Amino acid sequence: MPTLTNCLWFDRDGEAAAELYTSVFPNSRILGVTHHGEAGPRDADLVLTVEFELDGVRFVALNGGPDFTFNEAVSFQIECDSQDEIDHYTDKLTADGGEQGPCGWIKDRFGVSWQVMPRVMKELLADDAPARDRVMAAMMRMRKLDLAALEDAAKTAA
């Protein structure tokens, strides 16, 4: 079976991004770094790739140049078990120039989009239409998701 690895295209910040991500997620590590050589197309000794794992999921950060940038069409979901985890990932990934968006979406300082959400979100949005609508309405008013408020919305008629 082939190995799937997520590849993230950066201009020059791949190593800094890998260092941030491996510091934020448990059981994470940088696996290896390669550099551009004299043959180009970029400056010799500039980091070319950084291979890293985030809690067992493989990534490569590629310093490919300014041709492509990140947008919200691709994001990574972080399913959290508690409000403390939601706070941790939101705060760490938006530090130093990142930004919060609506409904638990954030963008880190490198422009990578993340969805920081409670693991129970699928259950909160399940088959009970009135509860689902209350949860959705509550979530639409939030930036960082408030797990207790979402759970309350699922239980309480508006």
Return the closest-CA partner of residue 36 out of 63, 66, 10.
63
Across residues 105-118, what is the average pLDDT? Answer: 98
Sign, CA dihedral 130-80-99-70, equals negative
Q: Looking at the whole model, is its pTM more than 0.85?
A: yes
Count of domains for the chain: 2
Percent of the chain with pLDDT over 70: 99
Say yes or no: 61 and 102 in one domain.
no
Say yes or no: 64 and 78 in one domain.
no
Say yes or no: 106 and 57 in one domain.
no
Task: Say if CB 50 and CB 33 are below 8 A apart.
Answer: yes
Give the relative orientation of helices 83-94 and 14-24 as an angle to the nearest 10 degrees.
160
The model's confidence at residue 39, banded by pLDDT at 50, 70 and 90, is confident
Say yes or no: 134 and 153 in one domain.
yes
State the chain's mean pLDDT as an integer: 95
Sign, CA dihedral 105-108-110-115, equals negative
pLDDT for residue 141 is more than 90: yes
pLDDT at 42: 85
Domain of 43, CATH number, reads 3.10.180.10
| Domain final residue, candidates 15, 35, 68 | 68
Say yes or no: 107 and 140 in one domain.
yes
User: Dmax of the chain from CA atoms?
Assistant: 66
User: Domain of 1?
Assistant: 1-68
Say yes or no: 135 and 156 in one domain.
yes
Say yes or no: 46 and 103 in one domain.
no
